[in-house]
Copies of this chain bind each other. A is one copy, B any other.
Amino acid sequence: MHIFHISTSKSDFNDKPQTPGSPCSPFPIIGVGEGSNFDTLLLKTLGSLVAGKRRVARNGRLCREGDKLGLLYVVRFGQFKAVADDSIGQQRVAGFHMAGDWMGLGAISTGRHNFGLIALDDSEVHEIPFAAAAKTMITHPQMHHRFLEIMSEALCGEAHHSMAVGNSLDSRFARFLVQMGAKYSLLGYSNISYRLSMTRADIGSYLGSTGESMSRVVARFNAEGFVTISGRNVEVHNWVALDAVSRGLQREAKQTAIH
């Protein structure tokens, strides 16, 4: 299966994440270890809050929908999908999380996790006991403020996503690609050449569509030429066009693409 060693040496964090499929990215590939910008500041101040690390193998569950809130999680490496059990049986993907992302914030109000968390890759998270964290924040104003920002960011992200309702699938998928690029970029990876960790069906579910439809969108985008998606490898050739499509300006997008 997916066995990975348990050493806690730093090399662990450097060998794990995405190795861009194509060479020569214009972006600096900095290591995503202690030094990079996934909330280094917070993690430093928060060091004492991290009760432990936890590894989850691919397809493993970190928590279930309805679990009592005890821990918040910060992704250290790997990726997760948040899933909700829609009505009966049907499972919907609510979001994707990668290094630096906080998970479980929705549970603060309800006391229970509102989404299950499933690893898309072999992953590791920091476990942060919420109760203790809340207390500590009071004595660390900086941390307190940063945490509010984190929650606000999450809120914006969700609001942003929910604005996608009603846009065309092309638009939603383009936006998805842009966001993934942005996230990778933040982590120091290329945003024009990256590898997705989730299935077409997962993306479809996240975007309120289906795996089949995603497949077709991918084909369409490839044909348009502003992007090359082969399997899970994504290469963005025309960022402007992609962004235009994501905004629903299809007409202009094509003009830009044809150039």
The interface centre, meaning the residue of A84, A115, A144, A249 with most chain B CB atoms within 10 A of its CB, is A144
Contact, CB under 8 Å: B108 / A152: yes
CB-defined interface of A86-99 with B at 8 Å, one 1/0 digit per residue? 11100010110000
CA distance A130 to B158 in the complex (A): 21
CA distance A249 to B167 in the complex (A): 24
Chain A contact residue count (CB 8 A cutoff): 49
The interface centre, meaning the residue of A114, A150, A156, A247 with most chain B CB atoms within 10 A of its CB, is A156
User: For residues 118 through 163 of chain A, which have their beta carbon under 8 Å from a beta carbon of chain B?
Assistant: 134-135, 137-138, 141, 144-145, 147-156, 158-159, 161-163
Nearest chain B CB to A258's CB is how many angstroms away? 20
Instruction: Take A109-B149, A114-B156 as given contacts and tell me if A94 and B209 are in contact as well, using a CB distance cutoff of 8 Å.
Output: no
Nearest chain B CB to A28's CB is how many angstroms away? 25
A105 interface residue per 8 A CB criterion = yes
Nearest chain B CB to A204's CB is how many angstroms away? 9
A177 interface residue per 8 A CB criterion = no
Q: List 25 A-B contacts (CB under 8 A).
A: A86-B163, A86-B248, A87-B247, A87-B249, A88-B249, A105-B152, A106-B152, A107-B152, A109-B149, A109-B152, A109-B153, A109-B155, A110-B156, A134-B145, A137-B144, A138-B144, A147-B148, A151-B151, A151-B152, A162-B165, A164-B165, A164-B208, A165-B165, A166-B205, A167-B208
